Structures are given as C-alpha cells and as structure tokens.
Structure 1
C-alpha cells in the first residue's frame, strides 16, 4: 500500500503502528524527549508493540489538532486521553516530528509528551 508521508505520520501518532512498520528505515531512531531513545528498526518496533499493548488495555481517544508537512518532514500535535471503566487514566498533550529519507522511509521520530498532572 502506498501511503503519503502525512498518512504514515498520522498512523503513528494515532497508535496504529503495525500499519506502517514496512515504512520504517532499518536505522530508524525514536527519541521520546526526556524519557527514552530507541535505535534501529527492531528496538522501535518492540517499543511500538509495548505501547500498542497498553492502548489495547484502555480506551483511547486521539485527537490531531495540527499537521504540518514540509518536504521530508511532518509535524503533528494533538492530545490523547486514556480511560478505563469510564474513568480517565491519563491525558497527554503531544507533538511528534517525523523525518523521512529520500526513499520515503521513516528515519527519525522526535516525540514531545506532556502528561497531565493529577
């Protein structure tokens, strides 16, 4: 399936990781600022699988507020609300910056996440 860079980025920001694994560069880097860095396709996919498992354990509500596309870069900001049994577990404001190589492979993701304080 041929996806645009924006579609690839939106799938990632929406937690639909498995739909885009084939678009990851072998040397992909995912930097979650202030938390973790994942280097290489296996490390990024493994983390995506862990995150996806969490998303399956809660009700998720992702909202995209803005998308900016500039050549081989896409930036998306929005929010994510996670709830269980009708109660909010957490709420996150996020901005993801995606960088693609000339083969339209995702090479670098920089994620900025701010979690609501309880």
Structure 2
C-alpha cells in the first residue's frame, strides 16, 4: 500500500502512474499561471502528455524536500532537464497536496524556470 506521502513524492517526481490510484474522480490540479485541470481522467491525460514530452529528456533532481502529514503535503523540487539535443532547463517547483479519506483531493503547483548557468 502506498502512503499519501509516497503518492506526493511520485507525482512531483514525474512518476505519475504510481500516483493515479490515489486520484479521485473529482481531483482538481491547479497549475498557477497556466490552467486548472479538473477530473481524474483530465489529470491523467495531462500527466501522460507530460510523460510523452519528457520521453527523451534526462531529469536530475538537485533538490527534493517533502513535508507531509495526514491532511496535506508539500514537495519542494529543483529539477535539471536535459533533452535529446542537449538543451538544458532548470525548474524550481513546489506542489501542495490536499488529502481526504486516503485520496489526493487537490494539487496546487507553482513553477519557475531558473537560469541553468547559475544552477551548478
């Protein structure tokens, strides 16, 4: 059995498929500055699209900090993404998870791109 903390870690680490079982039909994923995705299938579709985009990308997490309890979790991440042609981007993100009855009821994601040259 996967804990909610492990579910949050999986989702924030782009291991989305490990988190799908904990997404209820009415899940709401708010991506600040982008769009709100509502409903399990819509969230799964968004995750699968992200996985397809990242298929040829190498990801290294230089920071991965999780704080969690029975009601919520926050995952603070810095990831270095290198695509097939060598283009590098670095993203700092924080995902805030809300839990109820063993399920993830809401995710709020904040992300900002950093300058790869300053992110060793």
How does the TM-score come out when normalised to structure 2?
Answer: 0.88
Match of 1:92 in 2: 91
What is the number of residues matched between the two proteins? 116
Segments of structure 1 that go 5 or more residues without pairing to the other structure are none
Question: 1:8 aligns to what?
Answer: 7
2:23 is equivalent to residue 27 of structure 1: no
SS at 1:34's partner residue?
coil
TM-score after normalising by structure 1: 0.89
1:116 is the counterpart of 2:111: no
Q: For the residues of structure 1 that align with 2:62 and 2:5, how far apart are their CA atoms? A: 15
Which residue matches 2:45? 46
Higher strand share: 1
Q: Give me the whole-angstrom Cα distance separating, in 2, the residues matched to 1:86 and 1:42.
A: 32
Superposed displacement of residue 63, structure 1: 3.9
- Match of 1:27, SS state, is coil
Contact 1:61–1:81, Cα closer than 8 Å, also in 2: yes
Query: Unaligned regions of 5+ residues in structure 2, if any?
Result: none
